[in-house]
């Protein structure tokens, strides 16, 4: 017999977490798979649960001048439908699972699962998103890199809940998202890359590159990105191999039922290379205008 709490409000949910450390349960699309046993047999739930997916006060998408903010219990379907959500996140979420699952699964579940192959996690890392963790007595904001420390591991405390995700609004000229999966629907990523850049007058002002399922946590290197910044896009393309070699040094993939480590490494580098190749258009347009 499992103990299940069904709070009427976030406040009640937070006090249940503080008193019992019951496990957050949102859409259950990760948890029910994790706990399944044999076909036709009820899943084995190891600890008390606190249901969160029905809490309307955590279902919203808002924006102001600085951030797009997504309530933790917003479904993937609602994220797909919202024009306020940054294109890269919408693109990734619309490719996750399949419509029926997206109606149940929420953004906090993808983050809380802390899988290296979590598609929203990879995009949120690229977009410098802040994950808001709340407890009955405090609130804190962490980046994906600060929150997720390994496969299935986070620094979330037993009295905390993810309550929202804040995505800084920025101007970008180049957007890139590719997911490599066995098929288009209902397939977890073998590998994914999310990246963007701001190129002005042929000079790279900003660039962000994240790779999912290529290491125990999403790969993002501020060091490599800062080396790219201020370069002319043509110069970067000439030096592309140097940057690919640097990313190669960060990739630590595993072989599992979905893919081999070698395929993941090759695909990650190919996708980063494809993203950098999109800067070629800047070189052409700059040459035309000069
Ligand atoms: C057939 C199938 C296909 C899938 N395809 C994809 C895919 O393409 N890409 C992908 O990334 N994933 C995929 N998934 C995985 C899953 O659907 C997603 O990770 C989804 O976002 C999980 O959300 P959920 O609400 O169902 O999470 P749940 O299963 O409810 O929870 C997952 C984890 O997050 C924690 N959690 C939930 N809510 C909170 C909260 N508010 N605060 C703190 N922790 C919380 C839970 O305790 C648990 O550890 C797939 C799953 C299935 C079964």
236 token code pair: 């970067």
What does the mean pLDDT of the chain come to? 94
Pocket probe for ligand 1: among 113, 125, 132, the residue whose CB has the most ligand atoms within 8 Å is 113
Pocket probe for ligand 1: among 22, 112, 190, 191, the residue whose CB has the most ligand atoms within 8 Å is 112
Q: Give span(s): CATH 3.30.390.50, the chain.
A: 174-289
Whether the pLDDT of residue 46 is over 60: the answer is yes
**What pTM was computed for the model?**
0.95
CA R_g for the chain: 20
Ligand 1 lined by 24 (C-beta under 6 Å): yes
Give the side-chain half-sphere CA count within 13 A for 99: 1
Neighbours of 215 (CB within 10 A): 17
Q: Give span(s): CATH 3.30.465.10, the chain.
A: 4-168
DSSP 8-state symbol, 184: S
How much is the pLDDT for 277?
96
Rounded distance, CA 233 to CA 235, Å? 5
262 token code pair: 């070698």
The CA-atom distances, in angstroms, between 109 and each of 6, 152, 162, 205 are 17, 12, 9, 34
Split at pLDDT 50, 70, 90, the class of 39 is: confident
Do 232 and 164 touch, CB atoms closer than 8 A? no
**CATH of region 4-168:** 3.30.465.10
Distance of CA 186 to the CA centre of its chain: 17
Pairing of strands 23-25, 49-51: parallel
261 token code pair: 């480590």
Do 229 and 221 touch, CB atoms closer than 8 A? no
**Assigned fold of 174-289:** Enolase-like; domain 1 (3.30.390)
**Which atom of ligand 1 is closest in space to residue 162's alpha carbon?**
42
How much is the pLDDT for 17?
98
């Amino acid at each position: 017999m499992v103990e299940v709490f069904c709070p009427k409000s976030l406040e009640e949910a937070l006090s249940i977490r503080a008193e019992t450390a019951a496990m957050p349960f949102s859409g259950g699309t990760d948890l029910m798979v994790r706990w399944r046993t044999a076909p036709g047999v009820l899943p084995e739930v190891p600890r008390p649960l606190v249901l969160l997916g029905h809490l309307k006060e955590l279902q919203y998408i808002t924006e102001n001048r600085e951030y797009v903010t997504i309530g933790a219990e917003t479904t993937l379907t609602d994220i797909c439908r919202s024009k306020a959500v940054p294109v890269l996140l919408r693109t990734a979420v619309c490719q996750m699972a399949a419509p029926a699952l997206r109606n149940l699964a929420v953004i906090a579940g993808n983050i809380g699962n802390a899988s290296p192959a979590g598609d929203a996690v990879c995009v949120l890392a690229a977009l410098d998103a802040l994950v808001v963790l709340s407890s009955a007595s405090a609130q804190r904001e962490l980046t994906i890199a600060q929150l997720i420390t390994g496969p299935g591991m986070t620094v979330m405390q037993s009295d905390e809940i993810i309550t929202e995700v804040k995505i800084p609004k920025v101007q970008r000229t180049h957007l890139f998202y590719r997911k490599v999966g066995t098929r288009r629907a209902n397939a977890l990523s073998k590998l994914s890359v999310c990246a963007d850049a701001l190129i002005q007058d042929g000079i790279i002002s900003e660039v962000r590159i994240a790779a999912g399922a290529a290491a125990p946590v999403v790969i993002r290197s501020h060091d490599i990105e800062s080396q790219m910044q201020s370069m002319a896009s043509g110069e970067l393309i000439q030096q592309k191999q140097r940057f690919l070699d640097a990313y190669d040094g960060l990739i630590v993939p595993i072989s599992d039922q979905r893919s081999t480590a070698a395929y993941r490494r090759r695909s990650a580098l190919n996708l980063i290379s494809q993203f950098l190749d999109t800067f070629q258009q800047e070189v052409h347009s700059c040459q035309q205008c000069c």
